[in-house]
Amino acid sequence: MSQSISAPSTGAVVVSTIPLRELAPWALFFGLLGTLVLFFVSADQGAVSIPAGTAIHEWVHDGRHLLGYPCH
C-alpha cells in the first residue's frame, strides 16, 4: 500500500494519510471503550455477569433482542 497516491498529471486527486503514530492512542483508547460499551449492551448479565444481578440485562433487554444479540 502506498502512503499516498502520486499525481502523474495536474488535476489528479491526492488524499493525504493520517500518520498511524498519531492515530494509535485514539484507536487503542476508543477501541477499548467501544468494546466495553458493546459488551454491556450485548452480553452482560447473560453468560457472564459484571456486576452480579440482572439490572443491566433488564434495562437494555429490548435493545439486546432487537439488535440481534443472544438473549432469553
Partner 1 sequence: MNARAFLVRGLIAGLIAGLATFFVAHQVGEPHVDTAIALEEAGEPAAVVEEHTHSHDDGEEAHTHSHGEDAEVSRSTQRTWGLLTGSLAVGLALGGLVALVSAGLVGRIGRFLPGQTVALVSLLGFVSFALVPFLKYPSTPPAVGSGDTIGDRTALYFGFVAVSLIAAVAATYVALRLRDRIGTYGGTVVGVAGYLVVMVVAGQVFGTVNEIGDFPADVLWYFRRASLITLATMWGVLGVVLTGLVAHLYRQDTAEAERRALAASL
Q: Which residues bind partner 1 (CB under 8 A)?
A: 1-5, 13, 15-18, 20, 22-23, 26-27, 30-31, 33-35, 37-38, 40-43, 46-47, 54-55, 57-72
To partner 1, the closest distance from the beta carbon of 40 in angstroms equals 7
- Residue 70: asked if its preceding bond is cis (omega within 30°), the reply is no
Amino acid present at 9: S
The minimum distance between CB 72 and partner 1, in angstroms, equals 4
Q: From residue 34, how far is each of 11, 15, 37, 41, 46 by CA, in Å?
A: 39, 28, 5, 11, 19
Q: How many whole angstroms separate alpha carbon 33 and alpha carbon 3?
A: 29
- Min dist CB 67 to partner 1, Å, is 6
Nearer to partner 1, 26 or 50 (CB): 26
